[in-house]
Amino acid sequence: MMKTKVKGDIYGGSGDAPEQQSIKHILSKYEYDLYKEEDDVAQKVIRVKRFSMPNKGEKWKIFEDTKVIFVLDGTKLNTKEKEFLRTVDGVNFLIKQFKEGIKSFNALRKEIKNNLK
């Protein structure tokens, strides 16, 4: 039996490894200019969290970053208002009211009633 000598390898070349092309990620001038580090400003994070109380009550807390800004006690609300605040629309409503500036609990409750009509 005669063995055939295979010249080359899986790359089909002359036995040498394929040329190693250096892969360098070169940022173009335009890509580099898109990001400006001095404009990198952290925005405030506003979130709403609902807490269940042990006496079957609820509270909604509005946070700005990690600070509690406003607490809404569910015992002072009727069932329709509480059901509304449990929804995504209710949470968005609370965030919107916070951005506009919550004056007092009574003013917020009036806005909730107007929104439910």
Q: Is 80 exceeded by the pLDDT of residue 89?
A: yes
- Is residue 37 included in any domain, yes or no? no
- Is residue 99 included in any domain, yes or no? yes
Q: Are 49 and 95 in contact, with CB atoms under 8 Å apart?
A: no
- Is residue 12 included in any domain, yes or no? no
- Is residue 29 included in any domain, yes or no? no
Please report, as a single letter, which amino acid is at residue 16: D
Confidence of residue 60 (pLDDT cuts 50, 70, 90): very high
- Is residue 25 included in any domain, yes or no? no
Domain with 104, as residue range(s), is 46-116
Please report, as a single letter, which amino acid is at residue 107: A
pTM over 0.85, yes/no: no
- Is residue 60 included in any domain, yes or no? yes
- Is residue 17 included in any domain, yes or no? no
pLDDT digits (tens, 9 = 90+) for 9-49: 555 555 555 554 555 555 555 555 666 677 777 788 899 99
- Identify any residues that bridge with 50 across adjacent strands, giving them in sequence order: 60
